[in-house]
């Protein structure tokens, strides 16, 4: 959620729109698969993957994992100290089994 808040605030600030309310949803589900752990990467590469400004290394890393069949990644939040994030490449990896499975 912290990442979404960060980007929404950035978008709103850049748009120059007046203050407004936005409806957002949070989906809750069990993690139902194994994920690649960014914590296990060597420190210099991990720092590039977790860069809070540039997503170039993160996108390349994730694309390679997805193309290789990985379910997704788990990584430290760059917006919330001690926070953990999951990037799922496939809905089934987080327990979604159908249209109404939330």
Record the pTM: 0.77
Range of the domain at 69: 25-102
Instruction: Evaluate whether 79 touches 50 at the Cβ level (below 8 Å).
Output: no
Write out pLDDT tens, residues 10-22: 888 899 888 888 8
5 belongs to a structural domain: no
12 belongs to a structural domain: no
Write out pLDDT tens, residues 36-93: 999 999 999 999 999 999 999 999 999 999 999 999 999 999 999 899 999 999 888 8
* More confidently predicted of 76 and 99: 76
Instruction: Evaluate whether 29 touches 95 at the Cβ level (below 8 Å).
Output: yes
Domains held by the chain: number? 1
Burial class (CB in 10 A: 0-12, 13-18, 19+), 75: buried
| Residues 6+ positions from 85 with CB-CB distance below 8 Å | 3, 74, 75, 76, 77
Residue 37 and residue 30: Cα distance in Å, rounded?
Answer: 17
13 belongs to a structural domain: no
17 belongs to a structural domain: no
79 belongs to a structural domain: yes
Residue 68 and residue 62: Cα distance in Å, rounded?
Answer: 10
């Amino acid at each position: 959620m912290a990442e979404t808040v960060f980007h929404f605030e950035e978008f709103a600030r850049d748009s120059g729109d007046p203050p407004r309310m936005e409806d957002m949803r949070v989906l809750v589900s069990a993690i139902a698969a194994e994920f690649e752990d960014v914590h296990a990467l060597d420190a210099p590469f991990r720092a590039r993957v977790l860069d809070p400004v540039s997503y170039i290394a993160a996108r390349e890393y994730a694309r390679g994992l997805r193309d290789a069949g990985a379910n997704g990644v788990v990584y430290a939040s760059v917006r919330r100290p001690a926070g953990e994030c999951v990037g799922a490449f496939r809905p089934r990896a987080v327990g979604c089994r159908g249209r109404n499975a939330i």
